[in-house]
Structure 1
């Protein structure tokens, strides 16, 4: 058995802000992917994944048996497949902010959900919100709390525009240009990040009036403007807003940026060679970079692993 492939995702804009109703934009990233498999291979990764799936079944059972559950599963088939050694064969790095658990959730839903909403249907707002709710409950096992957006992105394999908590839609993004010098890239911190502790820090900060005001008046303002300018293809406005966002994050989200990257972050703002922002919750994993000249950025960041994900 080999299931269909599901891809990683990148939240270009909206990290933390979407918790408080900012806009957001999430895109599939097809470089990393995963699928459910049953085979005769013997490896530690396979054994570990199979064990994790066994633990995950208990969480899915609790959703299945809930009185007002939004989804039921073919638990018998799932348990039988796990008993035969099924595992999630994935190249998506865990703890890197690119949706490893989201892809797994999408895969499980696709194969084992009963009366599932398929990607071939007319995905109106009601169906998208129902899928998001289902995925949030399914992914909560991995993070304690989930918006459901990562699995939704992986399941649909489409860019998703988050207009507000209760308003999401598939989005058309500008076509990539192979000759353009501008790019969005991933920068590897070399350290695995943990989502839950970062979210806890954010929620603690939200108890302070000054932090809430900064989030509303600065962070969300520039996040919303970045989304708009990206979708319109207004590169000048985009880089102006991303530079502002980069400064705001450095000043107010320092715990989410690994310490040895603080000076590198600042260097990008001072030289305009690139602007860094969080990729997901931060704390490690990937950081997201925006540059108007990718070759110049690569030279400046020559000691680091850079992966281009989108060209302007």
Structure 2
């Protein structure tokens, strides 16, 4: 009965948000309806992710969730790049990275920690994640460091070369973690909490794809209402890109990670949060640079000092908390405190 009610509200909220968008209703009403719709679509994605993880393992399930969640963001970013809105794109990339490492991981660790005193996941995987985060920070820092000494052409060339290298590095990481060393990085924590899954493997994958499509549409509609919202409240492009768009665009991943943490599957939650940040920094951002090159207006990979500082701070605190392979609710509080401080700073810039 509860499931039928959930699916009824899911379909109805998606339909109403679509009607509001395509009929040209007020932005405020569109924003409200899309917020409701994205909450239920996120819940649907969380359930689908859990079901896929049951068949494929927590790591692969978390990776698929992060990938599908970032696919929507990549599509939106491509249109922004096409329109030449490079600063907004880089701000949203920054927001996605810090949002996943601080907000998503923080909420997952906090809420999961309130139910389970200590939650454990693969400590070796935590170490590799920390190293990959460090690589992401270095890769984004180097172009910004040398940009002032280069011409625009040289900066674009460096950005393109770095982008190609990062894509190759990320592909090799997937080969390492999913193929050659998958047993070493397998996460068995939370297996004792397994219960019967209602969906078959095929249906689970189909529903995850369907949930991703729904979230992609709702996210795009929601982002479309932000311009009037930002003008109304006098918000800056940096704050909107780094926080509002990032939070909205990753709403599904936020919910899925929290739902999994509440079921003592912190390994999958960490894979969604940290894995998504790494995917944004090492794959999505470089791919956008490469795509922009073929569009004829190369987007450099030079981030502002504010953005680099936020990414570096997020990586340091996330590494510190996750490197021992165990979490508790207070560590979640620490992550959220850093996110709130950064949010206030970006709002006041």
TM-score interval for Structure 1 and Structure 2 normalised by the shorter chain: under 0.3
TM-score, normalization by structure 1: 0.28
Q: Name whichever structure is richer in helix by fraction.
A: 2
Q: Name whichever structure is richer in strand by fraction.
A: 1
Kindly indicate whether structure 1 or structure 2 has the higher relative contact order, using CA contacts under 8 Å at least 6 residues apart. Answer: 2
